[in-house]
Amino acid sequence: MHIAETAVPGAYVVTPERHTDERGDFFEGLRTDLLEATTGHPFTPRQINYSTSRRNTLRGIHGVAIPPGQAKYVTCVRGALRDIVVDLRVGSPTFGAYETNVLDAASGRAVYVPEGVGHGFLTLTDDACISYVLSTVYVPGTQIDINPLDADLALPWGFTEHPLMSAKDATAPGVREAEAMGLLASWQGAGRDTHSSVSRKALP
């Protein structure tokens, strides 16, 4: 598999090598040894979640407070979706930067989301199913929600009609409000160093 860092330091896109014959195909969906060698951080799966959504459903932006923190390995196992990760680590040189990828069952492409980085997606098909392999189990009260339509982030969802959203996501604070409330992790607290050559649009 090919693992490439994104515009959000510590977040990676994983593209598997598919082996195809007349029967169908085969690919490795997750190799923790390769992932850990690339990221420099251990990744031990503790919980696996699935969610299924109708077309034009927007979920996110979601994260987990540190502690306990939570890294995610995200794949689309049915249908297709537009996946976005966004740097929410206060003090990061790319705070507010994002990376967009289309994940679909046909490609097997995955995204590794490190601690402190937000994640969300827009479904592009009906009955789209996403899988989350998580480094920590669910702890009530530790979830962080950022409004996915926050004007400060200006994320390129690409929808042509208003998406279906939960009331919780639609009324979540923007990134600046969440920062002022002390909800976001720090760059150092998320286990990242302060030197990175990776850069994209970052909030001032």
Which positions are catalytic?
62, 132
The answer to whether 169 touches 155, Cβ cutoff 8 Å, is no
Alpha carbon distances (Å) from 174 to 44, 51, 77: 31, 24, 30
Count of Cβ atoms closer than 10 Å to residue 161 Cβ = 6
- φ/ψ (deg, to 5) at 38: -80, -45
- The one-letter amino acid code at 150 reads D
Three-state secondary-structure class, residue 123: strand
Cα gap 128→55, rounded to integer Å: 7
- φ/ψ (deg, to 5) at 149: -100, 15
Cα gap 183→87, rounded to integer Å: 14
Question: SS3 letters for 52-68?
Answer: EECCCEEEEEEEECCCC
Cα gap 106→184, rounded to integer Å: 35
